[in-house]
Amino acid sequence: MVISPETNEEEASELVGRVGKFITDNGGVVKNQENWGTKKLAYPIGHYREGNYVMSEFNSEPSTANELEKLLRASQQLIRYLVIKQDEKVEEDSEIKVEEDSEIKVEEDSEIKVEEDSEIKVEEDSEI
């Protein structure tokens, strides 16, 4: 959610609380709520150039999410909102781990990005 910067902190907190209560009252579970603070918008929305960003992660039935969208749409305090379906937990620090002696096959036309401090070993008989 992006809350209007004209909304004071108490009103914004009340709005976030109403959203959480709506979710739990309709059988959902709020897993996480984060206030990311006031940030500059990527582009102006109406006369607003900044907004207070709040992220809520929750589990609910699809019907609850649909009803939540109706509630958010009716709020005059919100500049923008987005409700998305997340199939599985996304891990922020997930990396692909490659064992030291494993072979990586690269097609001839592929691009390879290498970090500055990475070590590359190319064997004489490789087809790169």
Q: What is the pLDDT of residues 71-88, one digit of tens each?
A: 999 999 999 999 988 876
pLDDT digits (tens, 9 = 90+) for 38-83: 999 999 999 999 999 999 999 999 999 999 999 999 999 999 999 9
Residue range 32-36: mean pLDDT, rounded = 92
| Angle (nearest 5°) at CA 65 between 62 and 67 | 110
- Model's pTM, two decimal places? 0.64
Residue-level pLDDT at 85: 87
Structure tokens of 36? 């990311």
> Which domains does the chain show, CATH number per domain?
2-80 (3.30.70.60)
Nearest to 23, CA basis, from 76, 79, 90, 68? 68
Q: Does 108 have pLDDT greater than 90? A: no
Residue 30, strand partner residues = 58
